[in-house]
A = this chain, B = another copy of it.
Amino acid sequence: MADLPTTSYAVLGLLAGGKMSRYDIAQLAEQSIANFWTIAKSQVYSELSRLEDLGLVKGKDVAQKALPDKRVYEMTALGRKALRGWLESPGYEGDRYRSGFLVKWFFSDSMDASKRSHLLDQYTQQARARLNALEGAVEYLSSIPEAKYMRETALLGLMVTRAVVEWTEEVREPGGSKRATRRARA
């Protein structure tokens, strides 16, 4: 009974903080792990149903005045054990990386140079934006001692993104579009 998809355990893990509505869990997922493991809102709902069927969480409907009723979940003892068991079991779902940009780049032989250069500009710009955000996140998390591992996940994102930015600089051909000159790291 131990082999659920990673997403299930992720939801379970998010719930470890205490009783939460599924809407809130979805929200939290977006703000915490979304950078390396996105979970669609609706998927949170279905995962919770499954987890409840398995007895790892239990949910209860809560009526609200003015706002729609909500369903609030909390982990069971069994759920806590399952999460722990999963965490400590060896192995993990392999990293998957998928880049629409690289697909274009891979075939970009048959593109004319200006279009290709523009493509790269676009990618660079996005990478830099991401870099900024991650720098902020890491710095912020550094101030919270309990957030050690959270910070480290952000740090990996940061280091990887830095590498991406460096790559864009390395492959940029001189004489491309003028728009390419944007100052890096403030």
Contacts and interface: CB of A to CB of B under 8 A. Distances in A.
B84 A110 contact: yes
Q: How many copies of the chain does the oligomer comprise?
A: 2
A110 B95 contact: no
B95 A101 contact: yes
Per DSSP, are chain A's interface residues mostly helix, strand or loop, or mixed?
A: helix
* Interface size grouping (class) on chain A: 35 or more
Interface in A135-176: 146, 148-150, 152-153, 155-156, 159-160, 162-164, 166-167, 170-171
A59 interface: no
A53 interface: no
A-B CB proximity, top 8 nearest: A93-B100, A163-B163, A92-B100, A36-B102, A13-B107, A159-B163, A36-B99, A95-B99
A112 interface: yes
Interface centre among A91, A94, A104 (most CB of B within 10 A): A104
